[in-house]
Structure 1
Amino acid sequence: MPIAATESTISLIEQILQKCSKIAIKKLSNNDRKWADGPEFGHQNGPYIPLELREGSFFPSLSNATSSAAHIYECRIQTCWVRTGEVKQSRLVNYSNKGKECHLTGVPKAEFAGIGPASWFLAGRHEDSTGVTYYCVVLDSADEEGSAYVETIFELDSAFEYSLFDTAHAIVPEVAPTGFIEELLQALTEGRMESLWAACAFPKTAELAAQAQTEFLRETGAADLNPFKLECPGNALMRISRDIEYHLFRQHSARHYSAKLLHMLSGGKTPPDLTTVVTELVTKYDEIYKEVMVSAGQRSKSRAGYSFEQHVQRMLADGGIPFQEQRFVGNQRPDFILPSLKLYRDPERERDDAFILSLKTLLRERWKQVLSENKASDLYLGTVDDGIAGDSVEEMRENGIYLVVPEQLKDSKYTEYERHENVITFRDFFRTELGKRRTIWIDKGLKVQFNDS
């Protein structure tokens, strides 16, 4: 029986999690989705399913159905597309003369049409006395809330492509550091919940950024974040901001909200009995929901990108690159002006003598916010977002904006950055764009000593 569709993608995913014991998740490549936008993009008619997702018992085994086409292996599966409730008899087919990938056909074209780069395909396997049904949903990367939800509950990092998951282990909160439960119990016993809660406050943005940078340096053995010494500085930024920092953020969340909830239930005093705890939980539900659950969700959403500027600033500093940050240019205050506001305002300078570097962790349509900054210089816009459509990239080009992206995203099959002249990598930005300006800056009387030797 189809799952009823709702307006919330998150609720659709939760229904799949409740109904299915296993789930396959795949980031959609450009070929996996563009076929639905018109015949000029090919006739694939569905996403590819990698061999790793076909191994085991999640999907049925394929078999040859006809001796006249010995290279074709296939099977039929029933799919339910939970957004609409549509049930299809889909086909898994492998053309062995073309490789090991399997093609999923017989899917609703509308599910894939018009979605952005780096979108998601989720399929849950449900088996009962009537047989096996695969409950499927396509999640547009433009749905930031839904994408963040999937990445969080399955702990998908920035390099994720596809995998199988046990849904029983999906919604697992980030564990606080070892010993925190004992710390909570001791504080509760001694009536010190007030002070413990205060001690579990979230670190400031700069502190969290520093923690993430330190962890990256420990992980890689690098001495610093000098972009001239890092082989792929953009990938490093992506790893620090999207993976390491978020992992640390969730650890801090576990401590902060556990302490906050226990403080609310205990009144910050000596431990109440179980009846009192349950009574407080029920009678203060609205307050708990607003103060703890909603607060946690809002903080999680708004946190993304807070420290991105801090990480780029550290790279500029470690690379010996002159810059000024958050200085007013008219009514705007861009993230960085290179090399200085003084040179930027010099009426005799050439257009590319000085320039602006703005940052957006998640770009989407927010790139238009920086248009007013692009008055008298080149404008570089740095991001770790993999979901920007090619049309938007071209619109940026028409407005004189260079998009700076991690190295792993530039030619990725999941993005639309390839072949756009105004898209460069962070490596190109530091080594080429800054490199060709060094002589100009020195001629202007600036002391420029890049740490690139």
Structure 2
Amino acid sequence: MEIEDWIDEVSGANFAWYIKRLSGNDTQLTGGHQAGPYVPKSLAVELLPQLSDLSLKNPRELVELRVLPDGFDTTANLIYYNNKFHDNPSSGRNETRLTALGGRENPLLDPENTGALTIFAFEYGAPVKCQVWICQNREQEALFEDEFGPVEPSETLVWSPNTKAIIADTKKHLGACSLSVEQIPSEWLVKFPSGLEIIKKSISLRPDLSKSVDERLLRRRDCEFEVFRSVEQAFFFPKVRSGFQNLDEFLAVAQSVLQSRKSRAGKSLEYHAKSILDEEGFVEGIDYEYNPKIEGNKKPDFLFPSVKRYNDGSFPAERLTILAAKTTCKDRWRQILNEADRVPTKHLLTLQEGVSINQYEEMSRSGVRLVVPKKLHKKYPSKIRSEIMTLAEFMTHIKN
């Protein structure tokens, strides 16, 4: 089945969509025992209200599962792990997951699909049916992200006919950076702020200068997400609430929402990395250059130490470094291979939650070294964790 035909098939009012990128834990790349992809509890209960019965421990219901484009069929469980309300109130689980996926033959458990954008289309009924599409390339991902905006690691989107809206599941966000309308700068309610302005706001709310650079990066990214969603709601909801005179007005607002999401995601990781470099004593123009132009029109994200040194043929190539920043790398890491001919090893800062061993070995053979915040290392296979740099280790490498 072609992806366009599948989208038409699951786009009716009887379907709810859940969109995420598969993590290393989802695909059991790390050898963990999470037992299947996380599903937002609100969606699970909407599909199967009986799961909300707290008198039952770990209630579950059958789901007819079909995984595409491979065409793998099985019967899975949608289970509510509710130990928190039974024998382990202090640290028990309180989450829903799709489990009993049929073993390693299921593409959802294929390590090579780690990082892939995946759409779960749940069909209401008895039994509940779920069709899953695992995107095979950037072109397929673009079909969805052009409609809903970028979907980054650990972020998920839910659409259901009851809400009639794309809702970001905030399970992993702390909430401390959410802003009321009164807390949002008044000028932002007139003109939507740039991604850099939102990042500066998130840094002011969560400076975290006493924390490690790895933790600082992740906490600020969470904060930025909350600030962005707060501003998006305050800026666009009044326009939606007041209604539209015609279709063109509606499409214009929808396009503005999508464009603001793309703009925020496109440069976010770069901006955060640059802020942390500056805070750690790296001087732009001396220790590094941001988005420099080299070798014609090539523009790496970060070049160490400078264009002048790079263009100096007598300067040792082993003392040159580039750092690319890409939130996901499954199908994007090859983009950096030709960014700087003189640099034999390209460093890639990513937030992707795992890569397969096969893909990692291909990256290594191509001269790419991953830089991943320390907290995310556990989402990578144990075999390669020692070879992945933390952000702190990368900065030490540059200083030395």
Instruction: Using structure 2 for the length normalisation, give the TM-score.
Output: 0.65
Q: Secondary structure at the residue paired with 1:402?
A: strand
Match of 2:398 in 1: 434
1:406, 1:247 → 2: CA distance? 20
Does residue 333 (structure 1) correspond to residue 323 (structure 2)? The answer is no
Match of 1:213 in 2: 203
Structure 2: which 5+ residue stretches go unaligned?
80-92, 169-177
Q: For residues 132 and 358 of structure 1, do their structure 2 counterparts lie closer, same or farther at Cα, with a shift above 3 Å needed?
A: closer
Q: Using the TM superposition, give the Cα deviation of residue 397 of structure 1 relative to its aligned residue in structure 2, in angstroms.
A: 1.7
Q: Does the 8 Å CA contact 1:79/1:87 hold for their aligned counterparts? A: no
AA matched with 1:177:
S
Q: For residues 324 and 133 of structure 1, do their structure 2 counterparts lie closer, same or farther at Cα, with a shift above 3 Å needed?
A: closer
Matches within 5 A, 1:263-412: 281=245, 284-285=246-247, 287-321=248-282, 322-331=287-296, 332-377=298-343, 378-386=345-353, 388-412=355-379
Q: Secondary structure at the residue paired with 2:300?
A: coil
Q: Secondary structure at the residue paired with 2:127?
A: strand
Does residue 7 (structure 1) correspond to residue 4 (structure 2)? The answer is yes
Q: Secondary structure at the residue paired with 1:305?
A: helix
Q: Secondary structure at the residue paired with 2:393?
A: helix
Q: Does the 8 Å CA contact 2:304/2:322 hold for their aligned counterparts? A: yes
Match of 2:390 in 1: 425
Q: Using the TM superposition, give the Cα deviation of residue 309 of structure 1 relative to its aligned residue in structure 2, in angstroms.
A: 1.8
Match of 1:251 in 2: 230
2:310, 2:288 → 1: CA distance? 11
Q: Does the 8 Å CA contact 1:234/1:407 hold for their aligned counterparts? A: yes
AA matched with 2:371:
V
Per-residue CA deviations over 1:125-169 (Å, capped at 9, x if unaligned) read 855xxx53343535459664588699989xx996579xx999856
Q: Does the 8 Å CA contact 1:5/1:82 hold for their aligned counterparts? A: no
Q: For residues 307 and 126 of structure 1, do their structure 2 counterparts lie closer, same or farther at Cα, with a shift above 3 Å needed?
A: closer
Identity over aligned pairs, percent:
19
1:146, 1:216 → 2: CA distance? 35
1:360, 1:337 → 2: CA distance? 15
Match of 1:116 in 2: 113
Match of 2:89 in 1: none
1:399, 1:83 → 2: CA distance? 30
Q: Secondary structure at the residue paired with 1:328?
A: coil
Q: Secondary structure at the residue paired with 2:130?
A: strand
Higher RCO (CA-CA < 8 Å; seq separation 6+): 2
Per-residue CA deviations over 1:388-418 (Å, capped at 9, x if unaligned) read 4444432332232222111122231xx4585
1:83, 1:344 → 2: CA distance? 47
1:139, 1:407 → 2: CA distance? 27
Aligned residues: 354
Higher mean displacement: 243-252 or 111-120: 111-120
Q: Does the 8 Å CA contact 1:397/1:422 hold for their aligned counterparts? A: no
Q: For residues 170 and 28 of structure 1, do their structure 2 counterparts lie closer, same or farther at Cα, with a shift above 3 Å needed?
A: farther
1:88, 1:236 → 2: CA distance? 43
Q: For residues 355 and 167 of structure 1, do their structure 2 counterparts lie closer, same or farther at Cα, with a shift above 3 Å needed?
A: same
Q: Using the TM superposition, give the Cα deviation of residue 307 of structure 1 relative to its aligned residue in structure 2, in angstroms.
A: 2.7
Q: Does the 8 Å CA contact 2:77/2:100 hold for their aligned counterparts? A: yes
Matches within 5 A, 1:184-223: 199-217=189-207, 222=208
Match of 2:220 in 1: 240
Match of 1:230 in 2: 211
2:329, 2:98 → 1: CA distance? 33
Match of 1:137 in 2: 132
Q: Secondary structure at the residue paired with 2:257?
A: helix
Instruction: Using structure 1 for the length normalisation, give the TM-score.
Output: 0.59
AA matched with 2:217:
L
Larger % of helix: which?
Answer: 1
Q: Using the TM superposition, give the Cα deviation of residue 245 of structure 1 relative to its aligned residue in structure 2, in angstroms.
A: 1.9
Q: Secondary structure at the residue paired with 1:304?
A: helix
Match of 1:104 in 2: 100
Q: Secondary structure at the residue paired with 1:306?
A: helix
1:157, 1:362 → 2: CA distance? 7
Q: Does the 8 Å CA contact 1:405/1:423 hold for their aligned counterparts? A: yes
